[in-house]
Each structure stands twice: as C-alpha cells, then as structure tokens.
Amino acid sequence: MRQIGLRVEILFNLLLITAVAMFFIGIISFKVVEGYALRGKVDSTKAVIRSFKSFYSTNRDLNKAVEFLSDVLEPGAWGVVSDSRTRVSFEVGETDKPEHITDPIIMDVIHNGSTVINEEGYSFLPFIYYKGLKYAAPLNTGGGKGGFIYIYQPLGSIKKSILVGHRYIALWIVLDLTIIALFGSYLLSRRIVRPIQQLIKSTEDIAAGKPPAAENLGWVQEINQLYLSLVKMYIEIEMSKRKLRENYDALEQSHTALQAAQNEVILSEKLASLGKVAAGIAHEIGNPLSAIRSYVDALKKGYGDKEWKRDEVLGSIQNEVQRIDKIIRTLLEYSRPKSFEVRNVNIKEMIEDSIDIINSQGVLKNIEINLHMSDECLGANVDRHQFSQVLINLILNARDAMDGTGSITISSGPAEGNGVEIAVRDTGCGISPDTIDKIFDPFFTTKEPGKGTGLGLAVSHRIIESFSGKITVESEQGKGTVFKIVLPGETNNAS
C-alpha cells in the first residue's frame, strides 16, 4: 500500500475542508452580489418611474412623459403607459418587444392597485442567466384608477457586472487556498511535522539502546506529552534491563553452584555404587593375595631351589599380581572423576564394558546375565563415564531386587523413529504401584536405612535427560522390573 507523509496528509485534509467552506462561502457571496446588483437595478427603475409620475403630474401630457422615459431608460427597454384616456407604448433602440402585450402582472396592477416587480431568467451556479426586469405600477390620474405604467428593462449590463463579481470572488477563493497551502505547509512543518520527526528519531535511539536526546519539540502539548512518555519508557526499559542483568548474574551464580552440587551428587552416588561392590573387592583381591602368600612360603621353604621351579612360582606370583592390578585399575577407572565429554559411542561396547567392571568385583555371583544385542551397530551421543554409571547403577539395583539370585537380561536395539533403546530387566520382587511414580524422586528409596541413598535413580534420570534421552520403568510385583532407556541415535560406526 502506497503511503504519504504526515505533512501532505494534514495539508490535503486542511485544503479539502477549506475548499468546501470556501465553496459555500462563494455561493453566498455570489448570491449577495446578485442581490445587490438586482436591487440597484430595481431602485434605479423606481427612481425613473417616480420622475415620470412627477413629470406627468405637472404637464398632463402622456406623450411627452413617454418621451421622458425613452430618454432616461437604457437601450433595449420598452413599455406601455396608460391613463384613463390614452394608451401609449414605447421602445428604446432595437428591442424584442412583442406585438401584443398580455403580461398578467398588468391585470394585477389594474385590479389590485399594487406595484409588481418580476425578474425574467434564472441563476444556478455556475450558470447565470438574467434576461430582463419587469416593473408594473399603477398610474393614478385625477384621483381615479385604471392607469398603469409597465416597463421591461433588459439586464444585459447587470449580467456582466455579476459575472465580473463572480470572477473576483473565485479569484479570492483560489488566492486564499494558495495562501493557506503555503502558510499552512510552513506552520505544519515547523510546529507538527518536525517535532514528530524528532520523536521518530528518539524512538529509533531507544530501539538502539541510546537515551533520547533532549530536544525542543515546540509548544504542542500532546507532542511534548508523547516525548515525556518516551523518556519514561526508556527509563523503565533501562531499569528492567538492569534488573534482568542482575537476575541473570544471580541465576548464573546459582546455576554454577547447582552444577557443582549436581557433580558432587553424581560423584557421591558413584561412590555409593562403588560401596555396593566393596564387599566383593576383598574377596576378589583376597584370593590372589592368598595364592601369593602360598607361593612366597613355598619359596622360603626351598621349593624354588631349582631354577625351573623358581621361574614357575615367580610366574604364578606375577599372574596373581596382574590380576590384582586389573581389579584395582578397573575400580579406579570407575570411581575417578572424569571431565564431561559427549561423543558418539557404540552402545554394545558400553554395555559389555559396564558388565566387565561389575564382574571384576565379583558382585554378580549366582546372578545369570543374559545379553540380547542388536546385530546393527547402534551409536548414541553420550558421555562414556556418566552413561556407564547409569548402566552400573541399574544392574546393581536389579541385583539388590533379587537378593543375590536370579537373572538380569540386558537388551539393545533400534527404538521407534530414529533412536536407540536399552532395557535392563530383572526377575526380582518388583515395585508396588504406590511407589513406582516416586522412584525417580531424589532421596526416595525402598531399601533399609544405610543400604541406599535414594539418589541413584534420580541422578540416572538427570544424566539421561542431559543426553536428550528418556528413562522409564515398568514393573509387576512378584515378576520383576524393567528399566528402558531411549537415546537419540542411529545405526552407524560408533566408536
């Protein structure tokens, strides 16, 4: 849509309103000019007739009186004068006088004895046509009635004067509109358009984050009120920005503190999970230590006098030491804090590594582990150590739910859409319907005091959500529980 400037819009409407007003004023002026011109003509005709009556009353000669009329009336005039004895018609110069005068106003004058004045023609702006003026008056002679004087006077001269007056009025209207346009444009530019342009610049400064400049906006009250409103709005925006910045800084500090607390909770839960396997560590390390002690006693008793026997004993000791070293390294690898690093990993390898960590501690004895892995190479974007913590926590919870005997089934495969699904299923006691909605709440646990922190599943839930994944639970009392993890991923060559 094409737009026009404020100056043009206001000036156009101002000129339109002024033009309409001038039009009606012009019509009134035209009528006033016509009225004055006709009245002057009527007054001059009345003066002529008075002079005629005075002349006729003096010498009683109708013919001489008619000659008087012919001398004073303008060319083109004609008429009829009648007294009780004589009826005389006359004309001045060339006229369009009819052969027989039968104008009804003559009868009105004779019967009523009143003067009648009629204009012949019409006036409809801008078209004007006045043909003539009819004037009929009684002519009383000797106190009797019956005489009359009838004069028809053409209005050609008055028509010209009226047209000249109309032209002057039209010129005056055009001149007024021109003055209003020029002077109005100047006033509009100075008092309205320029202050509004300054207001527009102030709003642009506010949008750019700059304070509005203090400028002289004239004496228009509404414009100054609008400018003060803009200044007030800028101050409120700056105060809101300052408060928002302060709130952001406070939130940033709270986020940093919360992130540190979450890391501590994750670490503490990791150590709590580590505590669950601590009992198996003593047994796993105790066996190779007992073997080493036996080999050392054998060497002391001289079993290694022969070189080949000594090499055999030392080789056995070395194997047991390597076994202990593997257990300790695996445990340290799990418990040591790691930096957060998300990358695409192979889900199958992650599950197998997590099971190896737990098996190295000997906490899954009498537990049957079943793996149902997809033949496809499934990958997901996760942090290896945090995801391993989730898997280990779910496996240890499954072990606890079975009191050390039963089977755990771990499966992986494509999820609906584009994703990877991992399921950890146990044959334990299951979860009651009253508590299943609370198991992901922090510090909620169904274990005996001292055997659970209530943070394992809450931390696992938070970790999976940080990977844009989802963890859910399904359980039936007496038949077991299954935890399902769905992660964004795809079939690829994850490492």
pLDDT reported for residue 486 = 92
pLDDT reported for residue 426 = 92
Three-state secondary structure call for residue 437: helix
pLDDT reported for residue 214 = 63
Can you list the residues of the chain whose pLDDT is less than 50? 450, 493, 495
Q: Strand pairing partners for 137?
A: 149
Q: Where are the beta strands (DSSP E) in 281-399?
A: 342-346, 367-372, 378-383
pLDDT tens per residue, range 63-93: 887 888 888 888 888 888 887 777 888 888 8
Written as one letter, the residue type at 251 is L
Q: Which residue has the tokens 């906006």?
A: 217
Instruction: Say if CB 151 and CB 139 are below 8 A apart.
Output: no
pLDDT reported for residue 485 = 93
Q: Is the pTM of this model over 0.85?
A: no
Compute the distance between CA of residue 258 and CA of residue 269 in angstroms, rounded to an integer. Answer: 16
pLDDT reported for residue 409 = 93
pLDDT reported for residue 64 = 80
pLDDT reported for residue 450 = 47
Three-state secondary structure call for residue 429: coil
DSSP code at position 143: T
Compute the distance between CA of residue 457 and CA of residue 461 in angstroms, rounded to an integer. Answer: 6
Return the percent helix, strand and coil in the chain, to nearest 5. 55, 20, 25
pLDDT reported for residue 281 = 60
Query: What is the DSSP secondary-structure string of 188-249?
Result: HIIIIIHHHHHHHHHHHHHHTTPPPP-----S-HHHHHHHHHHHHHHHHHHHHHHHHHHHHH
pLDDT reported for residue 422 = 92
Domains and CATH numbers, the chain: 6-179 (3.30.450.20), 239-337 (1.10.287), 340-495 (3.30.565.10)
Compute the distance between CA of residue 197 and CA of residue 188 in angstroms, rounded to an integer. Answer: 12
